Chains A and B, each alone.
Chain A
Amino acid sequence: MESSSAPSAMPGVPPVLRGILPVLLVLPVLALFAWSMEQSPFATYLLSIMGVNVILAVSLNIVNGMTGQFSIGHAGFMAVGAYVAGVLGLALKEIAISGLPVAMSDQIFLFVALLAGGVVAAACGFLVGLPSLRLRGDYLAIVTLGFGEIIRVVVQNTEAFGRSLGLSGIPQTAGLGMVGFWVFLVVLVARRIAGSSHGRSLWAIREDEVAAEAMGVDTTGYKVRSFVISAFFAGVAGGLFAHFVPIINPGSFTFVKSMEIVVMVVLGGLGSTTGAIVAAVFLTLLPEMLRSAFTSMGAEGSLAQKVDQIRMPVYGLLLVALMLLRPQGLFGMREIWEVLPRWLPRRRKGIQ
């Protein structure tokens, strides 16, 4: 477990800056990246969707992977974040901060909206988590599922959220820079948790909850905390989603979406942050790759469409096959840098 980058090993950097240094370093990199992608709208869109999926997968991994709980309603928190951030974004659409270039003021408002969405989602996570985390694992699953459904019904009945048509007109200000920043942040948080003593308690709860409780770990408290953190990032992901998709409606936040995120986490390996990232990237790109593959084979409409149509049942069968053949997913509980060396052919150095 001693694989996380400890900030203590940073000579030459004043202690005040050590925690925030990674964030500062990554900002210009992201800005450069976003600017270079500007020319290709499709790449920008696809990468944005991928970024959102990564945030969702990594945040769900904190609960399902590290803490070993059964949460299958993640799309519900995403929806809360999306609608709260969306409504706020709509309200702030016409306003700009004087004295700043419009683009920058847009990003600031976006950031505020995202935080609002995340915080409200986190509050919902607390409300849902506190009662149900006292219960046995299977019950949490059904409660989180029910929560997602309740959110859907609330939205469908509220005019302010656009009901079934959806909420449109939200300023499309979420660029790759902002998405990339939050991806970076969630990965940082997840890795820091995994490598800390807080994280060790979570692993303990995952492995054997009764033993952990006996060792003095406040299991309910830790479970609720990881649930709230995960819900916060899901809300942020939803907010980002609302700011680059032209219109959001309840159809994007169904149980099926929750399951897609669960698949990503399971495929990557429950508890592995890099696994979640790799799986999210792969599963986001897979339909597009299949589309490319089939259209390039010349078999025009029908075969590519059939593939689009078979996508969901194949997904289901894939899940079953995965569970039967390799239930630990790609990386199990470990991260990519722990697993990779073992997969690559080794050069033997001298006498082992």
Chain B
Amino acid sequence: MAQLLQHLINGLASGTIYALVALGYTMVYGVLKLINFAHGDVMMVGVYMGYATAFALGRQAQKSFLGVVVIFLVAMAGCALLGFLIERFAYRPLREKPRLTALITAIGISFALSYGFQLDIGFLPGAAPRAFPEVITPSEWLVIGDRDVVVWNWQVMSLLIAVGLMVGLQWLVFKTRFGRAMRAVSYDHRVAALMGIPTDRVIAVTFMIGSALAAGAGLLYAIKDTSVSPLMGLYVGLKAFVAAVIGGIGHVPGAVVGALLLGLVEEFVVGYAASTWRDAVAFGILIVVLLVKPGGLFGRVAAEKV
């Protein structure tokens, strides 16, 4: 029973981090109808930016509350900038072209980033994994029984940060004018432009927000798992995308539900079955969900009007 509870907590914790990344995917898909394959790799770049910042701050400063905030802000801002640049120069010119074109561009950027960061030239870090500095000293926050169930401080932290960011996003999308503009663009960007909404700007800002969230998620991963490497973005991005599709791509709360579900399923497969089947089960769940509910759990299969 205790083990079940422990797995539940672990699954939710990793699920919330997936959710942050999945949100970025789903937001971008909503406004651009584009699967941004490069999302996971943008996250990876953010992690390295945070790594560099932590080193610049030095051992003492990086552990302080202010230090952690600075690291997060720098990484998120840096990623926002990267997201903006990618959207501006790689995706915007292709907006009216068939979607396969943009998809391939996204994959190209993903390759360029993840393999580029494996090189050892200049500021590029190289292929070897590095240890992210211990900015949060792990300590047990809640212990039940004789260490039967342990909730860690970083789990609580990542839950709070993730939930906070998600709530902020919900507020942005549903309670602000800008959010209304985002929703309008995702509904039909041509008509939205006719209504006077600056679609280019809305899309650019959406991209920036999504990338910043990804950076936050990446840092939470780095704090949780210590190891950072250029290839860390690929699989996380893929899983997050699966989560977004399960929830119904384009649907913001759906992405969160899908991510939590994925995190839990993965945790239970590893805990109770064999860990080597984890990836297969994750994709298997995707196929099953799509078979039963083609639009994802919450998505609407919109009838295409011609």
Contacts and interface: CB of A to CB of B under 8 A. Distances in A.
Q: Please tell me whether chains A and B touch each other in their complex, using a CB distance cut-off of 8 A.
A: yes
Interface of A: 64, 68, 70, 72, 131-132, 134-139, 141-143, 145-147, 149-150, 152-154, 156-157, 210-211, 256, 259, 262-263, 266, 270, 309-310, 312-313, 315-320, 322-324, 327
Nearest 4 interchain pairs by C-beta: A319-B108, A316-B111, A146-B283, A316-B112
B101 A132 contact: no
Interface stretch (B14-22, B58-66, B147-155, B273-281): B273-281
Given A149-B280, A211-B306, A320-B108, 17 more contacts: A64-B100, A135-B294, A141-B103, A142-B241, A143-B287, A150-B280, A157-B274, A157-B276, A262-B107, A270-B100, A313-B113, A315-B108, A316-B111, A317-B112, A320-B112, A323-B104, A324-B105
A130 B168 CA distance: 40
Nearest to B119: A309
B35 A141 contact: yes
Contacts of B118: 309
24 contacts: A131-B287, A132-B287, A134-B294, A135-B290, A137-B100, A143-B290, A146-B283, A147-B287, A150-B279, A262-B104, A270-B100, A310-B119, A312-B115, A313-B111, A313-B119, A316-B107, A316-B110, A316-B115, A318-B108, A319-B105, A320-B108, A320-B112, A323-B101, A327-B97
Interface in B112-130: 112-113, 115-116, 118-119
Interface of B: 35, 90, 93-94, 97, 99-105, 107-113, 115-116, 118-119, 238, 241-242, 245, 249, 274, 276-277, 279-280, 283-284, 286-287, 290-291, 294, 301, 304, 306
Contacts of A312: 111, 115
A153 B279 contact: yes
Contacts of A263: 104
A344 B261 CA distance: 59
Given A259-B111, A323-B104, A153 B35 contact: no
Contacts of B280: 149-150, 153-154
Contacts of B284: 146, 150
Given A138-B35, A150-B283, A150-B284, A70 B110 contact: no
Give the interface centre of A68, A318, A323 by most chain B CB atoms within 10 Å. A323
B199 to A, nearest CB: 20
A146 B108 contact: no
A139 to B, nearest CB: 6
Nearest to A131: B291
Contacts of B245: 139, 142
A156 B276 contact: yes
A270 B100 CA distance: 10
B92 to A, nearest CB: 10
A313 B286 CA distance: 30
A152 B276 CA distance: 11
Given A150-B280, A156-B276, A316-B110, A210 B306 contact: yes
Given A135-B294, A259-B107, A142 B286 contact: yes
A209 B113 CA distance: 35
Nearest to B108: A319
Given A70-B100, A142-B245, A211-B306, A319 B283 contact: no
B279 A323 contact: no
Contacts of A64: 100
Contact of A313 (B115, B290, B301): B115
A256 B111 CA distance: 9
B276 A319 contact: no
Contacts of B102: 323
A306 B279 CA distance: 33
Contacts of B97: 327
B110 A324 contact: no
A136 to B, nearest CB: 8
A132 B104 contact: no
Q: Which of B115, B118, B119, B291 has the most CB of A within 10 A?
A: B115
A153 B277 contact: yes
Given A153-B279, A156-B276, A324-B93, A146 B111 contact: no
Given A319-B104, A323-B101, A146 B287 contact: yes
A205 B119 CA distance: 43
Contacts of B107: 72, 259, 262, 316, 319
Contacts of B108: 315-320, 322-323
Contacts of B101: 323, 327
Interface-centre pick from A157, A309, A324 (highest chain B CB count, 10 A): A324
Contacts of B109: 316, 320
Contacts of B241: 142
B283 A320 contact: no
Given A313-B119, A317-B112, A323 B105 contact: yes
Contacts of B290: 131-132, 135, 139, 143
Contacts of A322: 108
A131 B277 CA distance: 23
A349 B294 CA distance: 59
Contacts of A141: 35, 103
Contacts of B115: 312-313, 315-316
A35 B102 CA distance: 45
Contacts of B274: 157
Contacts of B291: 131
Contacts of A156: 276
Contacts of A316: 107-113, 115-116
